[in-house]
Amino acid sequence: MIVILLSLVSTFEVITSASAVEQRQIVHTPFERVEDFYIPPTNLIITHVRFGFVYLKWEPAVHKIDLETLRLVKTISLKNYSCIPASMAYTHLSGYYFIECQVENSSSPSSQLLIDSVSDTVIGPNPNINGRPFVSPDGRFVVSVDKRRGKLQVQTVSFSGELQISHEVDVSIPLADLEFQPSFTEANQYVVVTSSAEGSELVFSDLATGREKALQNVKDPIPATSWPWGDTNRVVVSSGVFGRYLVTSSTESLFVLDGKQSSPHCEVSEVKRGNTVVWSLQEMCPSVSRLFMSV
């Protein structure tokens, strides 16, 4: 197991063999001014990830690194597109990396670029798509969160890798976070769960049917001013591909949600600013895995 650290002084450090018995070694990489990093997630098909990406503050480029040797593989320049990376996503079906570009004016939409993962070359803009990209666990859906307009832009990826625009979803709330939940009514489909950055609402949007259900009164999120580590001041975290439960945070408690019923399952009180969540395999609520919060 490899652990990636982003320190308070914006340096990029790696703990190699974190699960080994021998003494851990911290490797200080040559990257400074680190804004963030991205490692593609594993899934049922992709069980090992060799490469990750680092992007630096106000630099129009992404740096591809080998996670095993910790060496720089390539720097992919985005200068021709005036794109400073804000977030990334990846689907193995097309082999595309999706890069959200930062904007200086919060009222302006953030564009996206596509990178070919085989050749590490910039393909060009993701046409007419704005916001932060999220990819479903099976790689078949790309949902871009356009916070400026309060919309979700849905794209599908065919098994041959063709990327197509599907439809838009108007969630009508200021968006904080998004999570995929497998559909319990349609095979190989998903429901996306979005949380409000300002109010006590969550919205369940079925990608197959377009139906929506708003879940009200799940208490207010952590104020944005009290969460300086990004604009995701109310996380939504799924229990996994085969699970039916999700968890979301609020100011002084968290809620476990039943994804099948699109309803609250239970509330765990006296958890202040519990906005980082990891699932493990011990009971907390009846029939629900235990949650560990970093607050």
User: The tokens 């109310």 sit on which residue?
Assistant: 234
pLDDT the model gives residue 30: 64
Report the CATH number of the 1-128 domain.
2.130.10.10
pLDDT digits (tens, 9 = 90+) for 147-172: 877 789 999 999 888 999 888 888 87
pLDDT digits (tens, 9 = 90+) for 190-249: 999 999 999 899 999 998 888 889 998 899 999 988 888 888 999 999 987 668 899 999
Span 266-291, pLDDT tens digits = 988 888 888 888 887 555 565 454 44
The per-residue pLDDT for 9 is 45
* Exposed / middle / buried, residue 76 (Cβ in 10 Å: 0-12, 13-18, 19+): buried
Cα Rg of the chain (Å, integer): 19
Mean pLDDT of the chain: 84
Q: What is the pLDDT of residues 38-90, one digit of tens each?
A: 999 887 777 888 899 999 889 999 999 888 887 889 999 999 999 999 999 99
How much is the pLDDT for 53?
94
- 39-56 burial, b for 16+ CB within 10 Å, e for fewer? ebeeeeeeeeeeebbbbb
pLDDT for 100-143, tens place per residue? Answer: 998 876 667 789 999 999 999 999 999 999 999 999 999 999 99
